[in-house]
A and B are shown apart, each in its own frame.
Chain A
């Protein structure tokens, strides 16, 4: 009886192992946060890569919910999880923890003009992936913040549409003029702008010449006059009844939903957002307004990369194979997602080829991409960001402090700099 049980168990295991043994090409797994639709589009890219190689087969393992909690626990348990992951800019801070494979060696011989050619990436975006001389991820998107505006509301108010060279002053003038009580019931029901912590303040801080963190990551000069000028302008656009709805109204009616419902005239969003193809809404796109004196039109770029799990068995045994697969995947994504983080692909033609629905906005997006800048990501960025939000940005934008931005900046700066050490 016992013998029979053992024979059956062994036979079952051999049956299970059979297909795996028959598979010649190594399987490379990639985990992403993609939901159903995005995963289906990504699968098309993977299918094409798999069809053109016999060296490996890529398998997509999406984790659409609670992505970073799952990924962190997988990365913390060496040898588990996928071979590759998508990482957004904030989580690229893990590059300092030794959990991503250094790509320097395998990218050194990458074909010029390919996705592995590091000289073709926007330097600020690539910097997010660099750490102590190494390169830990290949960027696949750099999405600049642009301004979406509702043409009908501008026309109804008798205003000219914003132009690419507009300034903060023009922006505030428009925002005030477009904040209206349209039905005459004594309550504002249309606003010129909307800000609930998004867009990020860095846009205006950078334009004014301020910096969140200095170049060598030793100081957080948030009390500099330039930083404060940009930050105070930012605050004047948030929860200010003259130009934007209150936190309560936004929480109630939804953030982007208010723009889509035609209640907000101007909205700063990512270049890939669908705000310019809302049914029944005629939406124009321009770059963010420029600083009135410096003329800077620097904008924030949300970016993400693909990394290789340093502890995956393939990273130990065949890193070059993983690197080849990474380049192939990244190449595919650069022709899918907008905006590509590669300088050579920063053209209207490439953008429209990747996303035909963005044809009307393509020129403004490409113009914004030339001025985009990424956050300065370092190993302890999560803690830095938490202190910056909870001690400075949050209390000021939510009006939970009775200190002025300058007073609070002087108080919070040492705490921020503690996190840099």
Chain B
């Protein structure tokens, strides 16, 4: 007697639901089309709108609805199983419950100068004294600090590196196809595999410590403990981050380089420009739209980093990346309301930084068509 009723029987209800959803979407598309035709819309336009209907439905259900719901949930206490309870700004108040204290001596404990139940986020010692920032939700602000510093350090370095790689890949050298594939390879590797590989490489007896042994032996006998030393965790994450973005960003910049008209370089040469002048006054301005695009996407990606935090643990004092903290708050502690509030703060920071980059673009991004019109 067979004991397994079979995968088809087990998953049949799901299969039927999928088919019904597909039929339902098809019916809606037909209705959208018919209504437009009835209203006198041209056949071509009606077909186009009918064909994008599935995407619009998906966007409304899976994006607009969920984003709106998460905003609502951020004002509630919600654990998935009970109806959300409206608490107004309660979650935000808890997150922004911060304090500041002045240290009278280096020996003074942070807890003596911070508000009750607040933990230290930043302690700065100046001379015999100093100051300390603390918060009730210290883990959130420590994680925010780590995420922002990571983004501010890794994004410019990543862009500079990607530009360098793109310039090299733009040369006429032997085996160019091989080099391009090699540099793009990190971008197609799964992030989880990359995280695990780097974790192994950065381990105390890993390849990085082994290769740099002569250097650290000069200063100290102790090999660096990359992920457990609070001072080294960030540099390690930046190095890992750079490895991945070089390839992906380089491809976009390489396409930008290929699009720069050769006549501009020839004209610059006739005017007596050297290589640096051509790079500074032709390459960079002409490449600035691609750099701008990379800057925006890299900044957003750096602030939303997730896989590294999931697979590489950091000490409590360093914090973790905000997205991972949000995930833990939501699915480990089941504080969906608080997790939503954290997510919205992160979103607002991302929006503010993106807006800042957009505003700055008018000073350094050159759009050929725009200037020609002017």
Interface size counted on chain A using CB atoms at 8 A: 45
Q: Is the CB of B204 within 8 A of A97?
A: no
Q: Does B117 contact A (CB under 8 A)?
A: yes
Contact with B along A219-254 (1 / 0, CB 8 A): 000000000000000000000000000011001110
Q: Does A183 contact B (CB under 8 A)?
A: no
Contact with B along A160-171 (1 / 0, CB 8 A): 000000000000
Count A-B pairs with CB separation below 8 Å. 94
Q: Cβ of A94: which chain B residues have Cβ within 8 Å of it?
A: 81
Q: Which of A14-22, A102-110, A114-122, A331-339 contacts B (4 or more CB under 8 A)?
A: A14-22
Q: Does A383 contact B (CB under 8 A)?
A: yes
* Given contacts A20-B9, A29-B10, A13 and B333 within 8 Å (CB-CB): no
Q: Is the CB of B3 within 8 A of A47?
A: yes
Q: Is the CB of B317 within 8 A of A401?
A: no
CA–CA, A80 to B334, complex, Å?
19
Q: Is the CB of B203 within 8 A of A252?
A: yes
Q: How far is the CB of A123 from chain B (nearest CB, A)?
A: 27
CA–CA, A307 to B152, complex, Å?
48
Q: Cβ of B228: which chain A residues have Cβ within 8 Å of it?
A: 247-248, 251-252
Q: Is the CB of B9 within 8 A of A382?
A: no
Partner of B110, one of A252, A386, A402: A402
Q: Does A69 contact B (CB under 8 A)?
A: yes
CA–CA, A401 to B118, complex, Å?
11
Q: Cβ of B15: which chain A residues have Cβ within 8 Å of it?
A: 16
CA–CA, A16 to B18, complex, Å?
13
Q: How far is the CB of A262 from chain B (nearest CB, A)?
A: 17
Q: How far is the CB of A295 from chain B (nearest CB, A)?
A: 36
CA–CA, A401 to B9, complex, Å?
57
Q: Is the CB of B317 within 8 A of A400?
A: yes
Q: Is the CB of B3 within 8 A of A50?
A: yes
Partner of A59, one of B5, B19, B204, B333: B5
Q: Does B227 contact A (CB under 8 A)?
A: yes
Q: Does B79 contact A (CB under 8 A)?
A: yes
Q: Does A99 contact B (CB under 8 A)?
A: yes
* Given contacts A19-B8, A252-B225, A72 and B3 within 8 Å (CB-CB): no
Q: Does B82 contact A (CB under 8 A)?
A: yes
Q: Is the CB of B80 within 8 A of A76?
A: yes
Q: Is the CB of B109 within 8 A of A402?
A: yes
Q: Cβ of B229: which chain A residues have Cβ within 8 Å of it?
A: 248
Q: Is the CB of A51 within 8 A of B3?
A: yes
Q: Does B193 contact A (CB under 8 A)?
A: no
Q: Is the CB of A17 within 8 A of B109?
A: no
Q: Is the CB of B81 within 8 A of A97?
A: yes
CA–CA, A400 to B119, complex, Å?
10
Q: Cβ of B4: which chain A residues have Cβ within 8 Å of it?
A: 59
Q: Which of B8, B81, B82 counts the most chain A CB atoms within 10 A?
A: B81
* A70 nearest CB neighbor, chain B only: B331
* Given contacts A72-B331, A411-B117, A27 and B5 within 8 Å (CB-CB): yes
CA–CA, A253 to B225, complex, Å?
12
Q: Is the CB of A400 within 8 A of B5?
A: no
The bracket for how many chain B residues form the interface is 35 or more
Q: Does B139 contact A (CB under 8 A)?
A: yes
Q: Cβ of B82: which chain A residues have Cβ within 8 Å of it?
A: 97
* Given contacts A97-B79, A402-B110, A382 and B333 within 8 Å (CB-CB): yes
Partner of B16, one of A13, A23, A400: A13
Q: Cβ of B204: which chain A residues have Cβ within 8 Å of it?
A: 248, 252-253
Q: Cβ of A248: which chain B residues have Cβ within 8 Å of it?
A: 204, 225, 228-229
Q: Is the CB of B225 within 8 A of A402?
A: no
Q: Is the CB of B332 within 8 A of A382?
A: yes
Q: Is the CB of A69 within 8 A of B1?
A: no
Q: Does A326 contact B (CB under 8 A)?
A: no
Q: Cβ of A401: which chain B residues have Cβ within 8 Å of it?
A: 111
Partner of A51, one of B1, B117, B225, B334: B1
Q: Cβ of B317: which chain A residues have Cβ within 8 Å of it?
A: 398, 400
Q: CB within 8 Å of B: which of A234-280?
A: 247-248, 251-253
Q: Is the CB of B9 within 8 A of A251?
A: no
CA–CA, A412 to B119, complex, Å?
12
Q: Cβ of B109: which chain A residues have Cβ within 8 Å of it?
A: 402-403
Q: Which of A47, A75, A248, A395 counts the most chain B CB atoms within 10 A?
A: A248
Q: Cβ of A395: which chain B residues have Cβ within 8 Å of it?
A: 119, 316
CA–CA, A382 to B332, complex, Å?
8
Q: Is the CB of A59 within 8 A of B203?
A: no
Q: How far is the CB of B341 from chain A (nearest CB, A)?
A: 16
Q: CB within 8 Å of A: which of B253-300?
A: none
Q: Is the CB of A403 within 8 A of B81?
A: no
Contact with A along B76-94 (1 / 0, CB 8 A): 0001111000000000000
Q: Is the CB of B3 within 8 A of A383?
A: no
Contact with B along A58-95 (1 / 0, CB 8 A): 01010000001100110110000000000000000010
Q: CB within 8 Å of B: which of A23-72?
A: 23, 27, 29, 46-47, 50-51, 57, 59, 61, 68-69, 72
Q: Cβ of A50: which chain B residues have Cβ within 8 Å of it?
A: 1, 3
* B9 nearest CB neighbor, chain A only: A20
* B109 nearest CB neighbor, chain A only: A402
Q: How far is the CB of B179 from chain A (nearest CB, A)?
A: 36
Q: Is the CB of A251 within 8 A of B313?
A: yes
CA–CA, A50 to B116, complex, Å?
59
Contact with B along A348-359 (1 / 0, CB 8 A): 000000000000
Q: Cβ of B156: which chain A residues have Cβ within 8 Å of it?
A: none
Partner of B111, one of A59, A72, A382, A402: A402
Q: Cβ of A252: which chain B residues have Cβ within 8 Å of it?
A: 203-205, 225, 228
Q: Does B369 contact A (CB under 8 A)?
A: no
Q: Is the CB of A75 within 8 A of B10?
A: no
Q: Is the CB of A72 within 8 A of B334?
A: yes
Contact with B along A395-412 (1 / 0, CB 8 A): 100101111000000011
Q: Which of A98, A391, A402 counts the most chain B CB atoms within 10 A?
A: A402
CA–CA, A45 to B20, complex, Å?
36
10 additional contacts (CB under 8 A) given A27-B9, A248-B229, A253-B204: A16-B8, A20-B8, A23-B5, A51-B1, A75-B80, A76-B81, A390-B316, A391-B117, A398-B317, A402-B111
For this complex, 5 residue pairs linking A to B, each with C-beta atoms less than 8 Å apart, are: A16-B15, A27-B5, A75-B80, A76-B80, A390-B139
Sort A-B residue pairs by CB-CB distance and give the 10 closest, nearest first. Answer: A97-B81, A50-B3, A252-B204, A402-B109, A76-B80, A248-B228, A69-B331, A47-B3, A248-B225, A251-B228
On B, residues with C-beta under 8 Å from A are 1, 3-6, 8-10, 12, 15-16, 19, 79-82, 109-111, 116-117, 119, 139, 203-205, 225, 227-229, 313, 315-317, 331-335
